[in-house]
């Protein structure tokens, strides 16, 4: 026991009133004149309360008054014992009260009192004590009581099973249930409910089914508790059909059973079915509670059903649940997922008293997801103003936005705050910090952040593999993967996406294919469409276009837009017009508004100098209203972000930049730069094409950084599109002639240009 005296006084001061027993007397007796019999069950706090030498006087006074109290208590105690013996029921009631209000120390004192007073132990009271310890999270005491019981009845077994289940010892709950059956005790609905909950937490549908059979046999499967738990178990294990069958067979349903079904549909992605169920439920006489409302509000986001979402909001208001904190938060989350940030933030204003960190974090996450970073930070400042402590989710959202936009300065500040709030060891926060430094181009910082994590889990390892993949360091990513295995961390689906990407960006064809082929057989991870896309990318980048095409044909499912897009990019790189057209046709069917596909196809035609085809692609884009994403690059100089578009030179320093660009062009031509005019998809003369290439946004950004940034400092430029072939070779030479390290992050990866070569080794 480590509680201080003050804490105890406070606890007793607020204890639940139990009129029949003066609990404070019991406590004093046990702590005073009656030495503990069962040592671990007793508090020793009275011996340590006055440990200071300077407080001798105080101690003497306390001892004197203690003696007086003691004499008085011994008398009362004797009376009390007599009284207690007659009142087993009263005692049981008190123990129950302690259990409900989780007053563990009072419960322990009463238990001690029963032992010291020689109160005859009965199965009835022991069962109550067992439950009390279980509810207070003291599984050890509960188990010991159970073990020492000379006789057990159904209640004892049930109490022990639910004790294990409540305290997350699910396997033990199942074993105890089996032991009870072997012992000859027939389980009741509570034992069934607890053991089914354990199966659902373990996601063990096989054992769950056996218990379902047993429940059927003894006639409990349609009982309200058992049925609801069975439906819940099946849906949590992903067996939604079985869940549905159990639910339909239940003769009577209450809000809990409806909720387990609606929630089950929603969690398994059957959002429409969840809505249908909810409508059906409204026609029956069911009390609608906050859990039901939260479950149904959750389906509107993924379904993108804005109108239903709004109607549900009115329904919530009508029922008076708008101020309910969990319903309010789910509503806010719904609006964020529906992209209506105005309504989401309005909720914060309407219900400012009923908000907590979850509400603020939902809103921050909503702004981050809809790319309104400044607003996300405004909410963060407001949260601090309200003196609400940010949590790991708040930081994860904000740092993710810094990673996505490579805003290093903000990222560093948030990292400092994470340390202040002691959240640096949280697996989500720490993995996102590793990712953020990686995406901001600082590989060393990323590694340092990883090394500071005491127990990295699969998320953190995945982050690090992802960082190496992004920087095109395939061999290093493989090393990290091997280390992860040595640390006994099981790779998951994301691990393989990152690993395959790393192989793809480094041209490690053999390694990549071998990892893909061993995913399921060795590591038990079933490849999904994303993994297949990575392989298409891997084959395409390595120039194996025929193999890539065959691979697409042999896939167990249709290739997605990402896969076709990367195949098309490879066709463009290797000038394969026919396969390029095939890819472009497929892409148009899957994703008609994909501007990247049209641009790539027109580039293929341009390379072949088929200007008529180029024109027709452009016309088609115009007719079909496909908007080409405008390329832009940005660079941090003097703590400000400077954004540059293609040929867009409205910057105040236009003249200087122009001069620098010309100077750079002259210098790189001297060391062997030959402009790749084929990549300009317009029918223009040579000089014009060179001029256009020289004014690609990333080059303008680099020129500006070279003028303004101190000598020796690496230049970090970010671009929203993929860097073109010509700029890639030009920047390689720029790094050489200027003697500068240039880091370019395009929309797919990092390029580290040093002394005339790039870390991607031209695979990107």
Interface positions with Zn ion (CB under 5 A): 696, 724, 727, 751, 758, 760
Which is nearer to Zn ion, 127 or 735 (by Cβ)? 735
**CB nearer to Zn ion: pick between 568 and 760:** 760
Q: Which is nearer to Zn ion, 161 or 538 (CB)?
A: 538
Residue 328 or 675: which CB sits closer to Zn ion? Answer: 675
And the tokens for 218?
């003894």
Residue 366 or 474: the one with the smaller Cβ distance to Zn ion is 474
Nearest distance from C-beta of residue 651 to Zn ion, angstroms: 18
Tokens 């032992």 -> residue: 115
Phi, psi of 636 (to 5 degrees): -90, 115
- Burial label for 553, CB within 10 Å (0-12, 13-18, 19+), is exposed
CB of 752 to Zn ion, least distance (A): 8
Measured CA to CA, the distance from residue 501 to residue 226 in angstroms comes to 47
Q: What is the radius of gyration, based on Cα positions, of the chain? A: 34
CB of 637 to Zn ion, least distance (A): 21
Dist. CA 409–CA 639, nearest whole Å:
8
Return the number of the residue (212 or 696) whose C-beta is nearest Zn ion: 696
For the CB of residue 629, give the shortest distance to Zn ion in the complex, in Å.
14
Nearer to Zn ion, 155 or 635 (CB): 635
CB atoms within 10 A of CB 129: 24
- Give me the residue label for tokens 């699910």: 170
CA distance 569 to 98: 68
**Nearest distance from residue 467's CB to Zn ion, in Å?**
16
Q: Which is nearer to Zn ion, 271 or 735 (CB)?
A: 735
| Min separation Cβ 655 and Zn ion, Å | 22
Q: Cβ(155)–Cβ(128) under 8 Å?
A: no
Our CB check for Zn ion shows the closer of 152 and 751 to be: 751
Cα–Cα distance for residue pair 120/551, rounded to 1 Å: 77
What is the CB neighbour count within 10 angstroms for residue 21?
18
Q: Smallest distance from the beta carbon of 758 to Zn ion, in angstroms?
A: 3
Q: Burial of 587 by CB count in 10 Å (0-12 exposed, 13-18 middle, 19+ buried)? A: buried
User: Which is closer to Zn ion, CB of 163 or CB of 692?
Assistant: 692
Shortest Å distance, C-beta 566 to Zn ion: 16
Rounded least distance, CB 337 to Zn ion, Å: 36
Closest CB 681 distance from Zn ion, rounded Å: 12
Minimum separation from the CB atom of position 602 to Zn ion (A): 15
Q: Which residue is nearest to Zn ion (CB)?
A: 727
Task: Choose between 135 and 745: whose C-beta lies nearer to Zn ion.
Answer: 745
Q: How far apart are CA 489 and CA 462, in angstroms?
A: 10
Q: What share of the chain is helix, strand, coil (3-state, %, to 5)?
A: 70, 5, 30
Nearer to Zn ion, 257 or 759 (CB): 759
- Shortest Cβ 477–Zn ion spacing (Å): 16
**Closest by Cα among 296, 197, 277, 273 to 237:** 197
Q: What's phi and psi for 644, nearest 5 deg?
A: -125, 135
- Tell me the closest approach of the beta carbon of residue 693 to Zn ion, in angstroms: 6
Query: Do the Cβ atoms of 275 and 309 come closer than 8 Å?
Result: no
Cα–Cα distance measured from residue 174 to residue 196, given in angstroms and rounded to the nearest whole number: 9
Count, residues in the chain = 764
Using the minimum distance from each CB to Zn ion, give the nearer residue, 604 or 758: 758
If the CB atoms of residues 223 and 676 are measured against Zn ion, the closer one turns out to be: 676
Q: Which residue has the tokens 């909503």?
A: 366
Nearer residue to Zn ion within complex by CB, 152 or 696:
696
State how far the Cα of 20 lies from the Cα of 22, in Å rounded to an integer: 7
- Whether 402 and 436 have beta carbons less than 8 Å apart is answered as yes
- CA 232 – CA 670 distance, rounded (Å): 72
Q: Residue 604 belongs to what H/E stretch? A: helix 595-607
Query: Pairing between strand 715-719 and 742-745?
Result: parallel
- What six digits make up the tokens of 351? 């219900």
What's the number of CA atoms in the CB half-sphere (13 Å) around residue 85? 10
Q: How far is the CB of 726 from Zn ion (least distance, A)?
A: 5
- Residue 640's CB is within 10 A of a number of other CB atoms, namely 7
Query: What does the block give as tokens for 625?
Result: 């209203």
Which residue shows structure tokens 């139990």? 18
253 in Cβ contact with 259 (< 8 Å): no
Residue 742 C-beta: closest distance to Zn ion, Å = 10
Helix (H, G, I), strand (E, B) or coil at 703: helix
Q: What count of other Cβ atoms lies within 10 Å of the Cβ of residue 505? A: 28
């Amino acid at each position: 026991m480590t509680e201080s005296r003050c804490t105890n006084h406070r606890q007793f001061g607020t204890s639940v009133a139990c009129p029949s027993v003066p609990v404070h007397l019991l406590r004093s007796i046990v702590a005073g004149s009656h030495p503990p019999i069962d040592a671990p069950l007793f508090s020793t706090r009275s011996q340590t309360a006055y440990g200071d030498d300077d407080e001798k006087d105080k101690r003497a006074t306390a001892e004197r008054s203690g003696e007086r109290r003691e004499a008085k208590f011994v008398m009362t105690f004797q009376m009390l014992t007599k009284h207690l013996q007659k009142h087993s029921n009263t005692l049981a009631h008190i123990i129950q009260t302690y259990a409900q209000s989780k007053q563990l120390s009072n419960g322990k004192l009463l238990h001690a009192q029963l032992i010291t007073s020689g109160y005859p132990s009965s199965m009835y009271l022991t069962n109550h004590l067992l439950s009390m310890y279980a509810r207070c999270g003291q599984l050890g005491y509960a188990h010991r009581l159970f073990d020492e019981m000379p006789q057990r009845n159904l209640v004892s077994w049930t109490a022990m099973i639910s004790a294990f289940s409540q305290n997350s010892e699910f396997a033990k709950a199942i074993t105890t249930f089996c032991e009870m059956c072997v012992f000859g005790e027939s389980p009741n609905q509570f034992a069934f409910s607890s053991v089914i909950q354990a199966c659902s937490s373990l996601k063990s549908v096989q054992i769950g089914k056996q218990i379902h059979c047993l429940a059927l046999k003894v006639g409990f499967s349609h009982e309200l508790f058992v049925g609801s738990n069975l439906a819940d178990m099946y849906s949590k294990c992903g067996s939604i059909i079985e869940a549905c069958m159990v639910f339909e067979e239940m003769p009577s349903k209450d809000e809990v059973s409806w909720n387990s079904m609606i929630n089950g549909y929603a969690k398994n992605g059957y959002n429409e079915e969840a809505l249908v169920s909810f409508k059906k439920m409204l026609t029956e006489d069911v009390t609608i509670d906050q859990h039901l409302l939260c479950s149904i509000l959750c389906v509107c986001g993924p379904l993108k059903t804005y109108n239903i979402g709004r109607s549900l909001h009115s329904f919530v208001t009508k029922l008076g649940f708008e101020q309910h904190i969990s319903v309010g938060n789910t509503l806010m989350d719904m609006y964020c997922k529906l992209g209506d940030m105005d309504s989401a933030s309005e909720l914060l204003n309407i219900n400012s008293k009923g908000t907590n960190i979850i509400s603020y974090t939902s809103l921050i996450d909503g702004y981050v997801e809809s790319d309104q970073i400044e607003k996300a930070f405004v909410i963060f400042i407001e949260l601090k103003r309200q003196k609400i402590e940010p949590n790991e989710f708040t930081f994860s959202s904000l740092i993710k936005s810094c990673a996505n936009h490579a805003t290093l300065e903000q990222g560093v500040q948030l990292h400092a705050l994470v340390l202040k709030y002691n959240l640096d060891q949280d697996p989500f926060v720490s993995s996102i910090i590793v990712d953020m430094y990686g995406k901001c181009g600082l590989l060393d910082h990323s590694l340092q952040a990883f090394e500071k994590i005491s127990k990295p889990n699969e998320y953190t390892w995945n982050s690090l593999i992802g960082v190496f993949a992004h920087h095109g360091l395939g061999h290093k990513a493989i090393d990290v993967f091997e280390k992860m295995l040595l640390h006994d961390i099981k790779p998951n689906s994301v691990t393989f996406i990152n690993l395959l990407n790393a192989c793809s960006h480094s041209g490690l064809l053999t390694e990549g294919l071998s990892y893909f082929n061993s995913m399921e057989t060795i590591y038990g991870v079933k490849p999904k469409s994303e993994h297949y896309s990575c392989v298409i990318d891997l084959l395409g980048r390595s120039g194996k276009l025929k193999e890539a095409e065959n691979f697409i044909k042999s896939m167990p499912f249709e290739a997605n837009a990402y896969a076709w897009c990367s195949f098309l990019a490879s066709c463009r790189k290797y000038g394969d017009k026919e396969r390029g057209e095939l890819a472009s046709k497929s892409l148009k069917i899957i994703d008609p508004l994909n501007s990247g596909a049209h641009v790539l196809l027109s580039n293929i035609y341009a390379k072949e100098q088929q200007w008529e085809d180029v024109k027709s692609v452009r016309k088609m884009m115009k007719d079909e209203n496909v908007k080409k994403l405008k390329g832009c690059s940005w660079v941090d100089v003097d703590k400000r972000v400077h954004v540059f578009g293609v040929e867009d030179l409205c910057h105040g320093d236009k003249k200087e930049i122009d001069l620098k660009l010309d100077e750079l062009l002259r210098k790189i031509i001297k060391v062997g730069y030959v402009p790749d005019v084929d990549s300009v998809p317009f029918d223009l003369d040579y000089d014009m094409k060179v001029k256009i290439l020289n004014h690609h946004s990333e080059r303008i950004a680099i020129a500006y950084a070279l003028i303004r940034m101190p000598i020796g400092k690496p230049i970090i430029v970010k671009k929203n599109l993929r860097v073109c072939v010509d700029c890639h070779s030009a920047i390689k030479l720029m790094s050489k002639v200027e003697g500068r390290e240039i880091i370019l992050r395009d929309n797919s990866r990092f390029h580290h240009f040093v002394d005339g070569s790039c870390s991607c080794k031209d695979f990107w």
